[in-house]
Amino acid sequence: MSFQIPRGTQDILPGTSELWQYIEEKARDICRRYNYHELRTPIFEKTELFQRGVGDSTDIVQKEMYTFEDRGGRSLTLRPEGTASAVRAFVNNKMFGLAEQPVKLYYIGPMFRYERPQSGRMRQFVQFGVEAMGSNDPSIDAEVIALAIDFYKELGLKNLKLYLNSLGDTESREAHRNALIAHFEPRIGEFCSDCQNRLENNPLRILDCKKDRDHELMASAPSILDYLNEESANYFTNVKKALDYMKIDYVIDERLVRGLDYYNHTAFEIMSEAEGFGAITTLSGGGRYNGLVEEVGGPTTPGIGFAMSIERLLLALEAEGVELPIEKTIDCYVVTMGEEAQTISNGLLHELRSAGLSAERDYLDRKMKSQFKAANRSNAKYVAILGEDELQKDEINIKEMETGDQQAVRFSEITSYLTKKLKEETGE
């Protein structure tokens, strides 16, 4: 009997996992520079957190959650996104009381959504996201957006487009909501059953409907930007101004509503415009969620964040032909001849590795020629040749693979010799 991997999931094998590590390191580095700190939360949470946080009327909650009952009869859900958990952790740990505000957090971890799998859409995917809670300054909106854009650019992506919208505050949204109901109600019978439910529950969601997107009423639907009250309009202007000062280009998209319910004011998505990227072009999305902390039981606290999946980022890198600088080498391959040399090489390998070098040897009792082939395959920079003669003479040949140069070195000096040579190479 053979087992297949579950649909919408993937194994990340050596050769590819190095790309993931590189990207994750870059994510941690940019967060360090922007002063965001890592938060790690559980993979599952109480189902209610997402129902309240993400919103009952969203596709995520209605159709896509991995929900199960544990042995104690509690309803738990594999997290479909990171914001609700970050906000829960913020509230549970009373981070609103910290001296340093806003609290700037980031996370990298797997999320789960029961979606129809296709390129760029997985059932388990890894999000890198940031959340800043505790400030209502439009500059922090721009900072969060800049972090996302900088991250992509530093990795080498060029064909990006930032789409920006404002969903306004509660008052503006209410006015827009009424306008949407008035617009769609007379002809709601022509829409899908989901949209018919959305009319009362959350008419904004109608604009996001994939089935009805070509209906003529969609194009003529009232724009949120015409319903922003003065405060919301000013806020939006200030976000745009901050982005202008950062020289970050954006396109205003009044149709951008996002698929989660917690947003107000700023909403944004970053798309890939690379040719051949495929049908799903959204690389990341985010926005402001000023009501969410309160919704999850904390004091009124503004927040903003974004998330991106590493899967889609890798697709964009591939579409743009960006090669990440992954080093696939080892410092020293120890070639052995004879049983005694094999045994002694264990000590040498241990010493090299303890000194911080990467080192490998043969474990299949292969002939010298095959060992050299293996050293080549692993891109060894140096090969140390350990034969019985060499050991007796205490003169071990070290071959630099790139130049073919050989040097006789005393056994006890191999580690210091290689350490020095490798340092010279990197110019340290």
Secondary structure percentages of the chain, helix, strand, coil, to 5: 45, 20, 35
Of the CA atoms within 13 Å of residue 149, those in its CB half-sphere come to 21
Report the site for ligand HAM in 310-329 (rule: CB under 6 A).
Answer: 311-312
- Residue 160 C-beta: closest distance to ligand HAM, Å: 13
Stretch of residues binding ligand HAM (CB under 6 A), selected from 95-103, 118-126, 244-252, 413-421: 118-126
Question: Which residue, chain included where needed, has tokens 């019978």?
Answer: 189
Measured in degrees and rounded to the nearest 5, phi and psi for residue 165 equal -150, 165
- Residue 375 C-beta: closest distance to ligand HAM, Å: 39
Report the site for ligand HAM in 256-285 (rule: CB under 6 A).
Answer: 259-260, 282-285
Please report whether residue 306 would count as binding ligand HAM according to CB under 6 A. Answer: yes
Nearer to ligand HAM, 188 or 307 (CB): 307
CA 6 to chain centre: 21
Nearest-angstrom CA–CA distance, 255 and 341: 71
- Residue 18 C-beta: closest distance to ligand HAM, Å: 20
Nearer to ligand HAM, 127 or 172 (CB): 127
- Residue 110 C-beta: closest distance to ligand HAM, Å: 11
Measured in degrees and rounded to the nearest 5, phi and psi for residue 78 equal -65, 130
CA 17 to each of CA 22, 311, 428: distance values in angstroms, whole numbers, following the listed order: 9, 12, 27
- Residue 121 C-beta: closest distance to ligand HAM, Å: 4
Please report whether residue 104 would count as binding ligand HAM according to CB under 6 A. Answer: no
Nearer to ligand HAM, 280 or 337 (CB): 280
Write the Ramachandran bin of 305: left for phi over 0, alpha for psi from -120 to 50, otherwise beta. beta
- State the number of binding residues for ligand HAM (CB under 6 A): 27
Nearest-angstrom CA–CA distance, 307 and 286: 6
Report the site for ligand HAM in 280-299 (rule: CB under 6 A).
Answer: 282-287
- Residue 238 C-beta: closest distance to ligand HAM, Å: 19
Please report whether residue 134 would count as binding ligand HAM according to CB under 6 A. Answer: no
Extended strands (E) in 213-297: 251-252, 264-272, 282-288
Binding site for ligand HAM (CB under 6 A): 81-83, 113, 115, 120-122, 125, 127, 129, 131, 259-260, 282-287, 305-309, 311-312
